Structure 1
Amino acid sequence: MTGTSGRIDERNQHWLQVRVYYEDTDFTGMVYHANYLRFFERGRSDFLRDAGVSHQSLLQRPDPAAFTLTNVNVDFRKAAKVDDLLEIRSRYIGVQGARIIFQQTAFRGDEVVAEADITAVMIHSDGRPRRPVPEMVEHLKSFIFAA
């Protein structure tokens, strides 16, 4: 599974193309359900990077920070297959207390293949939860999805 360079459109929706490889599929040639989480992870990571927030910069802070997922709700609509080119669209919804909310959709052309509501929290390097880094929250305010 590889991605191509993403982009953020005028509505602050991030787009990333992902090719489905044989290794992403089960014995039927369809994407194994857990691999959609990998596709969505790449979409979120690239969105954050393109928005100016890198995982590496968070880890290199004097008080290192990282993300962990606390809730993932995926609605599988259609089966993606080997060689399909998917477009992962990621939307930053905002921060609610310690939670960072994303919505993501996997498209094959105009077809919705899968949709996910993702809740992440920020953690210290030892795994303890923490409030999101204020500078990151402030920076991401301008990237809240405009429906």
Structure 2
Amino acid sequence: MKVRVYYEDTDTGGVVYHSNYLNFCERARSDAFFNIGSTPVLENGHFVARRVEAEYLLSAKLGDELKVTTQLSVMKAASFKLLQTIYKDEKKIFELSITLAYITFEGKPQKITTDVKELLLSLFSS
């Protein structure tokens, strides 16, 4: 997914504010669902962040066009882990490892169904 850096994404020096890299990754995850006519809110539940590890390698600036890639790295019974990478001009500038848990609408963890696993594999496997 391509992302353009806008003024609202930056600090007063025109450098992307650190938390906005997480927003860019969230948009990429959501867009994967939107691109197939779905949403991340599924019939029986949705996903919440359980663990996040971020590595900031280089800064992006106002006007930059960035590319966000998303790769499924681990699938468990009730959660999965994605590796998301942000590139600027083919150079890696940010990396996120995020574990997402599948929960009911009441907030309780639930097992990821076979259908949802297949959907996740189709969206985030190369």
1:94/1:144 contact within 8 Å kept: no
- 2:45 aligns with 65
Q: Which runs of 5+ in 1 are unaligned?
A: 1-15
What percentage of aligned pairs have identical amino acids? 33
Counterpart CA distance in 1 for 2:35 and 2:73 is 16
- 1:11 aligns with none
Counterpart CA distance in 2 for 1:19 and 1:107 is 12
Q: Which runs of 5+ in 2 are unaligned?
A: none
- 1:13 aligns with none
Asked if 1:115 corresponds to 2:125, the answer is no
Q: CA deviation at 1:140?
A: 3.2
1:51/1:140 contact within 8 Å kept: no
- 1:81 aligns with 61
- 1:4 aligns with none
CA deviations on 1:57-87 (whole Å, 9 max, x unpaired) are x1xx2xx301100011111000000100000
- 1:12 aligns with none
Distance of aligned partners of 1:73 and 1:51 in 2 relative to their CA distance in 1, 3 Å threshold: farther
CA deviations on 1:105-127 (whole Å, 9 max, x unpaired) are 11011111101111001111121
Distance of aligned partners of 1:98 and 1:132 in 2 relative to their CA distance in 1, 3 Å threshold: same
- 1:42 aligns with 27
Letter matched to residue 48 of structure 1? F
Q: What SS does the aligned partner of 1:41 have?
A: helix
Runs of 4+ off more than 4 Å: none
Asked if 1:99 corresponds to 2:79, the answer is yes
Q: Matched residue pairs, number? A: 126
Alignment RMSD: 1.8
Distance of aligned partners of 1:143 and 1:66 in 2 relative to their CA distance in 1, 3 Å threshold: closer
1:47/1:90 contact within 8 Å kept: no
1:94/1:141 contact within 8 Å kept: no
2:32/2:123 contact within 8 Å kept: no
1:88/1:106 contact within 8 Å kept: yes
